[in-house]
Amino acid sequence: MARPRLLILPLLVAAAAVLWSPLDRALAKTAKKSDDIVNGPLLTSKINAKRTLIVGPEDEFKTVQSAIDAVPVGNTEWVIVHLRSGIYREKVVIPETKPFIFVRGNGKGRTSISHESASPHNAESSAFTVHASNVIVFGVSFRVLTRYTRRLNERSQNSARAGLPNIPEVRTVAAMVSGDKVAFYHCAFYSPHHTLFDSTGRHYYESCYIQGNIDFIFGGGQSIFQCPEIFVKPDRRTEIKGSITAQNRKEEDSSGFVFIKGKVYGVGQVYLGRANEAYSRVIFADTYLSRTINPAGWTNLGYNGATDHMLLGEYNCTGPGAAAANSMTRVPWARQFTKEEADKFLTVDFINGKEWLPAYYY
C-alpha cells in the first residue's frame, strides 16, 4: 500500500524518484489509502519550529486569536500555536502579514473553533480565516452557528447540524482560505451550507471531513482534497437540490478542485457541482459516490453561459451515484476522464506540493 512521502533530504528525494517506478505509480492510483496517517508529531518534526505558543484555559494564551496576535508581523520562521482540547468560541483570523504558522489541535473530535455568526457576506460569517501564506493546520474542527442553531444545540458540540431558519441569503462559512500554500490535515468543517470558502491559492486538505448542502465547497482555489469524507445534509431553507462544489475559474488558469480517494454520502440529494463560471474545473477521482448524488451528476442552475470550456467530471469513481451507474442520465457536458487525462490531477504536482508540503500521500 502507498505510504506517506515526506519532504526529506534532497538525496533521499532523488533516490525515491528513481525507485518510484511507473508501475508503482499505477498501483498507487488504484490502491486504497494507506493505513499510515500523517499525525501531529510527524508534522511537528518536519516543520521543526523553534517556538510554541500554547492556548488553553490555564495557559498564557486563553484564546486562539491572542496567540495569533503574538506572532510577529513579517514572521519568517515556523511558529506552533498549540490548542489544548476544548471548544474555542471565537472568530479567528490569520492575517496576510503573519505567515509560517502551524495551528496544532489535539484532534478534530477534541479541539474545535466555533463562531456564532450569519451574514450575507462570506468573509464576515467565517469562523476561521487564513489570509497568510505558509500555514499548516492539524486536528481542529471548525463550526459556525447562529443564535438559532446554538439554542437547538446547547447540549451538543456539533453546533451546525440542526439547520438554519428559512433565510436563503444567509451565509455560514466554517473556514475561508485565501492564502497560498495552506494545508489542513485531519480537520473537520461543519455548516449547513457554504461551508468551506476555498477562495484563492494552492491548498491541500488531507483526510478532512466536510459537511453541507448548497455550494458547500466553493471559491477559486487550486486545491487537492485527498481522502476526504463529504457528508451531505438536507437544507431546510429551500427545496432546490444543492451542490457539493461551485468552483470559480473564470479563465484558463491553474485553479480547480480535485477530490481523490474519498467518499460522498449523506441525506437527500445533491449534485457533484454547479457550473459556476465559464472555465469551472472540478474532478472527482477514485471516489465512492453514494445514492445521495443526483443521477444528472452536475447542474448549471443560475448559469446561462456556454459549457464548452468547463472541466467538470469524474475518473474511476464507484458506487450508485457514480457516472458508470448513471450513464444515461448524466448531463451531456459532464466529462468522463481517461487515465491519461486524469493523471496530471492525481498527485500533489497539481499544487506544486513537493515544493512546500511537509507531508503528503501520492
The strand pair at 242-247 and 270-274 is best described as parallel
Give the residue carrying C-alpha cell 448524488.
293
Active-site position among 198, 215, 235, 286: 215
In angstroms, the CA 136 to CA 88 distance is 18
- In the residue annotation, 235 being an active-site residue is answered as no
In angstroms, the CA 200 to CA 107 distance is 26
Per-residue CA distances from 181 to 316, 322, 336, 342 (Å): 28, 31, 29, 23
Max Cα separation, the chain?
A: 61
The neighbouring-strand residues paired with 205 are 184, 225
Return the exposure string of 335-353: e unless at least 16 CB atoms fall within 10 Å of the residue's CB, then b: bebeeeebbebbbbebbeb
Give the H/E segment covering residue 265. strand 263-266
Q: What is the DSSP letter of 21?
A: -
Quick check: 229 and 209 in contact, CB under 8 A? yes
In angstroms, the CA 273 to CA 246 distance is 6
Instruction: Give me the DSSP letters along 25-45.
Output: HHHHHHSPPPS----HHHHHH
Stated length of the chain: 362
Which of the residues are catalytic? 215
